[in-house]
Amino acid sequence: MVKEKRVQEHRLPDLEDVSGNVVMRMAPSPSGPLHLGHSRMAILNDEYVKRYGGRLILRIEDTNPDNIDPFAYTQIPRDLEWLGVDVSEVVIQSDRFDLYYNEARNLIKIGKAYVCHCKQQDFRDMKLKGLECPHRSNTIETNSSEFEEMIRGSFRPGTATLVVKTDLNHPNPSIRDWIAFRVVDANHPRTGKKYHAYPMMNFSVAVDDHYLGLTHVIRGKDHLNNTEKQKYVFQYNKWKLPVYYHYGLINIPETILKTSIIKKGIAEGKYSGWDDIRLGTLLALKRRGYSPAVIRRYWIESGLREIDADFSWEIFNAMNKEIIDSGAMRFWFVRDPVRVTVKSPLPLQSRAPYHPGRTELGYRKYDLGTEFTIFVQKEDWDKFDDGDVLRLKDLCVVVKSGNVGNFDHREVTKDHPLKIIHWCPQDSERFSVYKPDGTVDNGLLEPLALDYNGIAQFERYGYVNKTADEAFFLYR
C-alpha cells in the first residue's frame, strides 16, 4: 500500500471580496527604472488581474519633483513589458493636480482639513504630545482662502501645509493629523513651474485609489501605516474601501538596488549605465540572461505572506536554470589558456553536441589532422604529471608529456574512469566574460561559438548570455 502523494502546486491564495472583475494597480515613483524589488508588486498584481479578469493600472507617482528621472517615464513601461505584465492603463499623477485640489477643497469644506503654518519641528512636537496646533481651529473660510493661496503660490516652501485631521489621541503618533499638501518650488520635468502646492503621497494615493475604482490593493508592508492614514480620506468621503494586502519585506542580499546609489555610480562613471550587470535593475538582469519567467515564478512562490524574508539567489538561479537549460547551447571557453600539441598516428576529428540532451541540434565538429595545436586551461593541465592519462572531451585520450599530448588507445570506461578536460582548437579567438562581481575572465572561445547569440553554457565554466563580442556571466 503506497500512500498517495499530495501534489503541491504553488498558487497564490484567492483574494477576498471578489465580485466580478478586479481593478488593481502598481504605483512606482519615476525615480529610475524598475529593479528586482519592484518586480514583486508588478507580478503579484498582474497575476491576480489575470486570474480574475479586470484592469491593471500603472500609476506613476511623480509628486515629488526632486526625485524624478525623466528616463523612468518611458523605461518603466518597457520594464513591465519585458516582465510580461499587461498594463491596461497608464495614469500619471502630475496630470491630476486639479482632481487633488478639488478633493482637498472638499475636505476643507467638511471641516476635515486645515492649512497649517507651524514650523516643521513644532508641528511634529505637538503631534507627539497629542496637542492641537494653533491653526487647527481656524474657520473653514480661512482654510479655504489660504489653501487657494497655496495653490496660487503665495507661500514659500515650508510656510504652509494642508493637514488632514485624524485623531490627535491616536496611539500611533504618525497617524495623527498628517500633511496632505506642501509647497514646492521646483521645476517639475513634466509640468514645470505650473504648480506650487504638491499633494503628499498619502493624499494623492487615497484620491486616486478611489477614482480609479480599485477593488484590491497589494503592496509592501512598509505601507501599513500609510494605509491607516489613507483610510481617513475614504471614511470622510464615505468611499468604499478597497481590500488591502501587505506582503512582507524582502531582503535581497548582495545586490545593488537603491536608485540613489545607482544614479550616483552612473554619474561618477563607476557603472556603465542602468544595465550594468553588477546592478539589480531589471535591465541588468535581462542583460545577464535571466528569463522574465523566473521572476514571475519566484514571486508567485513567495506569495502574499507578511513574513519578512531573505531573497534566495540560490533558488532563483535554480529556477532560471530549469527554464533556460534546454535552450543553452554548449561551447568551449578556455580560460587562462596554455598551448598543447596533440600527436596522433591517424587524423583526428572532434564531435561534440550543441546540447547533450538535444542531439537533434547537431554537433560541433573540427577536423584536426595528425599533429595539431589546441588550448587547454592551465589550471587543468597543471594537475597532471608527465605520463598521466587524460581525456580531451569529445576528442581523444592522451598521455601528457610536457606540452605535448600523445594519442592513446585506452578508453574511458566505468572501471577505468579518466579525468576529462575541455579544450579549444588553434583558430579559437580571444573572448571575455564579464561577471557580476565586476571581474572579467579572459580566454579563448571555439570558432563555432563566435556567431552565436543568446544563452549558452560554456562547459565546465557556467551559463552565460553571449553577444557577438562578449558574454555576461549568469552562474555556474
Partner RNA sequence: GCUCCGAUGGUGUAGUCCGGCCAAGCAUUUCGGCCUUUCAAGCCGACGACCCGGGUCCAAAUCCCGGUCGGAGCACCA
Residue numbers 371-390 binding RNA by CB under 7 A:
380
Cβ burial of 374 (10 Å; 0-12, 13-18, 19+) is buried
How many Cβ atoms from other residues are within 10 Å of residue 149's Cβ?
16
Footprint of RNA on residues 413-432 (CB under 7 A)?
Answer: 414, 420-422
Among residues 83 and 118, whose Cβ is nearest to RNA?
118
> Could you tell me the three cell numbers for 186?
521646483
DSSP for residue 133: P
In the complex, the smallest distance separating the C-beta of residue 460 from RNA, rounded to whole angstroms, is: 3
* 246 contacts 221 by C-beta, under 8 angstroms: yes
**To which H or E segment does residue 228 belong?**
helix 224-237
Among residues 110 and 315, whose Cβ is nearest to RNA?
315
Main-chain dihedrals φ then ψ at residue 204, nearest 5 degrees? -65, -35
In the complex, the smallest distance separating the C-beta of residue 332 from RNA, rounded to whole angstroms, is: 10
* Position 95 contacts RNA (CB under 7 A): no
In the complex, the smallest distance separating the C-beta of residue 181 from RNA, rounded to whole angstroms, is: 8
In this chain, which of 21, 120, 154, 453 binds RNA, going by CB under 7 A?
A: 120
Among residues 270 and 370, whose Cβ is nearest to RNA?
370
* 334 contacts 376 by C-beta, under 8 angstroms: yes
Footprint of RNA on residues 38-77 (CB under 7 A)?
Answer: 61, 63-64, 67
Q: What is the contact mask toward RNA in residues 448 to 467, using x (rule: CB under 7 A)? A: ---------x-xx-------
* 279 contacts 266 by C-beta, under 8 angstroms: no
Q: Which amino acid is at 461?
A: Y
Q: What is the contact mask toward RNA in residues 314 to 353, using x (rule: CB under 7 A)? A: xx--xx-xx--xx---x-----------------------
Footprint of RNA on residues 178-197 (CB under 7 A)?
Answer: 179, 182-183
Among residues 428 and 457, whose Cβ is nearest to RNA?
457
In the complex, the smallest distance separating the C-beta of residue 272 from RNA, rounded to whole angstroms, is: 26
* Position 129 contacts RNA (CB under 7 A): no
Footprint of RNA on residues 296-315 (CB under 7 A)?
Answer: 301-303, 305-310, 312, 314-315
Among residues 109 and 351, whose Cβ is nearest to RNA?
351
Q: What is residue 285's three-state secondary structure?
A: helix
* Position 173 contacts RNA (CB under 7 A): yes
Among residues 276 and 330, whose Cβ is nearest to RNA?
330
Query: b/e map of 243-260 (b: 16 or more CB within 10 Å)?
Result: ebbbbbebebeebbebbe
Query: What sections of 3-70 are H helices per DSSP?
Result: 36-52
* 358 contacts 326 by C-beta, under 8 angstroms: yes
* Position 167 contacts RNA (CB under 7 A): no
> Could you tell me the three cell numbers for 254?
548582495
In the complex, the smallest distance separating the C-beta of residue 396 from RNA, rounded to whole angstroms, is: 7
Among residues 12 and 404, whose Cβ is nearest to RNA?
12
Spell out the residues 6+ positions from residue 245 whose beta carbon is closer than 8 angstroms to its own.
Answer: 15, 216, 217, 218, 219, 304
In the complex, the smallest distance separating the C-beta of residue 315 from RNA, rounded to whole angstroms, is: 5
Measure CA of the first residue to CA of the last residue in the chain; give whole Å.
41
Nearest residue to 150 (alpha-carbon basis) of 141, 142, 160: 160
Footprint of RNA on residues 264-303 (CB under 7 A)?
Answer: 301-303
In this chain, which of 2, 19, 141, 171 binds RNA, going by CB under 7 A?
A: 171
In the complex, the smallest distance separating the C-beta of residue 408 from RNA, rounded to whole angstroms, is: 12
Q: Which amino acid is at 287?
A: R
Among residues 272 and 338, whose Cβ is nearest to RNA?
338
Name the segment binding RNA (CB under 7 A); options: 24-32, 39-47, 273-281, 437-445: 24-32
* Position 365 contacts RNA (CB under 7 A): no
- Kindly write down the DSSP assignment for every residue of 165-220, as one continuous string: ---TT-SSGGGSSEEEEEE----BTTTBTS--EEE-HHHHHHHHHHHTT-SEEEEE
